[in-house]
Each structure stands twice: as C-alpha cells, then as structure tokens.
Amino acid sequence: MHPFSGGLMLLIDFLCFGANALTAGLSTPWVIAGAFGLSSAGVFMAQKFLDEDGFGASLAKAFFAGVITAVPTPILGTIVGAAIIKYSGLDRLEAEARAVVKHKSVSD
C-alpha cells in the first residue's frame, strides 16, 4: 500500500468521526457513507496511479480501505491504525525524514 493511501485513510477517519462527535452522533449514517466513499476513491486513485497497481489490486485495496475507514470509531490509536502505518510505509517515511533533518543539521 502506498504511504499516501495510509495517510489518507487516517486523515479521513480523523476528520469524519471528529466532525461526527460535534453532532452527538446524529450524522453517523452519512459520515459512514462519506468516509467509505472518500477513502475508497482516494485509495483507488493512489494505488492505481502512484503505486501503479493493476485495476483489480487497486480496487481490492480501495474496498478494504473504505470498510476500515467507515467503521465509526477512531482507528489511529488502535492496532488497526498501527497496522495501516506499518503496511503503508508511513513509519519508514518518518525515519527517512528524521535522517534528512539530522544530516542537514550536522552539515550546517
């Protein structure tokens, strides 16, 4: 899974269900549908064009992302969130960014 896909899933989950809390849960059905649709579409596009997966693989990952994101609970602080971070490579991006910052501060 492309790091953009993982970050998108976490962002959509955070935004949708944070906003849902403002309505005391009254918008839950619409938020679930919106989270599924946005996440599925975004992950499909990222996998198809950024990661260059085939149509079937992109569609399967998009469906998985939509289902996970549509669950009306926050996923970032859970084992599912940790798995998304690990599987999409977001943890490697953080390590690479820290190495670049450390290298720049040493060379300056």
User: How big is the CA angle at 57 (ends 52 and 59), to the nearest 5 degrees?
Assistant: 105
Report d(CA 7, CA 53) in Å as an integer: 18
Report d(CA 42, CA 89) in Å as an integer: 17
Per-residue model confidence as pLDDT tens digits over 71-99: 888 887 778 888 888 888 887 777 777 77
Confidence (pLDDT) at 76: 75
The phi, psi pair for 102, rounded to 5°, reads -65, -40
Provide the token pair at 99: 């190495």
Mean of the per-residue pLDDT values of the chain: 87
**pLDDT band for position 106 (cuts 50, 70, 90):** low
Rounded to 10°, the helix 55-70/3-22 angle is: 30
Q: Is 87 in contact with 6 (CB distance < 8 Å)?
A: yes
- Residue 23's domain spans which residues? 3-107
Number of independent structural domains in the chain = 1
pTM for the model stands at 0.79
